[in-house]
Amino acid sequence: MTSIVVDPHLTVVTSEHLADRYPDAVIDEGEDAVSRLRSAPTPTAFITSNTTWDDAFLTGLEDGDWITSVGSGYDSLPLRALEDAGVAFTNSPGVNAPQIGEQVFAMAFMYTRQLWTLCEQQQEHVWSRPFDDLTDLTDDVCCVVGLGHVGEAVAERATAFEMTVRGVKRHPNEYDGIADKVYGPDSLSTALEGARLVVLAVPLTETTRHLIGTSELAATASDAILVNVARGPIVDTDALLAALEDDELRAACLDVTEPEPLPRESPLWDRRDVFITPHTAGLSNKYSSRFLDRFDAQYERWRRGKALNYRVV
Q: Catalog residues that contact its own copies under the rule CB under 8 A.
A: 11, 98-99, 101-103, 105-107, 109-110, 112-116, 118-119, 121-123, 125, 127-139, 156-157, 159-162, 260-262, 264, 266, 269, 275-280, 283-286
User: In one letter, which amino acid is 225?
Assistant: I
Nearer to its own copies, 87 or 240 (CB): 240
Pairing type for strands 3-6 and 44-48 reads parallel
- Distance CA(36)–CA(288), nearest Å, equals 21
CB 4 within 8 A of CB 22: yes
Nearer to its own copies, 1 or 127 (CB): 127
Residues forming a β-bridge with 252? 226, 274
Please report how close the Cβ of residue 268 comes to its own copies at its closest, in angstroms. 9
Residue whose C-alpha is closest to residue 48's, from 86, 8, 107, 20: 8
Please report how close the Cβ of residue 39 comes to its own copies at its closest, in angstroms. 30
Among the listed residues 260, 300, 303, 311, the single catalytic one is 260
CB 273 within 8 A of CB 251: yes
16 is annotated as an active-site residue: no
CB 108 within 8 A of CB 277: no
Nearer to its own copies, 2 or 288 (CB): 288
Among the listed residues 17, 231, 250, 290, the single catalytic one is 231
- Distance CA(150)–CA(256), nearest Å, equals 15
Q: Quote the Cα angle for 115-121-123, to 5°.
A: 105
Over its C-alpha atoms, the chain yields an Rg (Å, rounded) of 22
Nearer to its own copies, 107 or 212 (CB): 107
Please report how close the Cβ of residue 306 comes to its own copies at its closest, in angstroms. 27
Nearer to its own copies, 84 or 139 (CB): 139
279 is annotated as an active-site residue: yes
Residue whose C-alpha is closest to residue 177's, from 148, 205, 198, 204: 148
Q: Residues, the chain, total?
A: 313
171 is annotated as an active-site residue: no
Please report how close the Cβ of residue 206 comes to its own copies at its closest, in angstroms. 26
Nearer to its own copies, 242 or 276 (CB): 276
Please report how close the Cβ of residue 257 comes to its own copies at its closest, in angstroms. 8
First to last CA, the chain: 23
- Distance CA(89)–CA(76), nearest Å, equals 13
Among the listed residues 38, 113, 210, 279, the single catalytic one is 279
Residue 225 to residues 179, 250, 276, Cα–Cα distance (Å): 19, 6, 13
Please report how close the Cβ of residue 159 comes to its own copies at its closest, in angstroms. 7
Helix axes 97-112, 149-160, angle to 10 degrees: 50
List, by residue number, the catalytic residues: 231, 260, 279
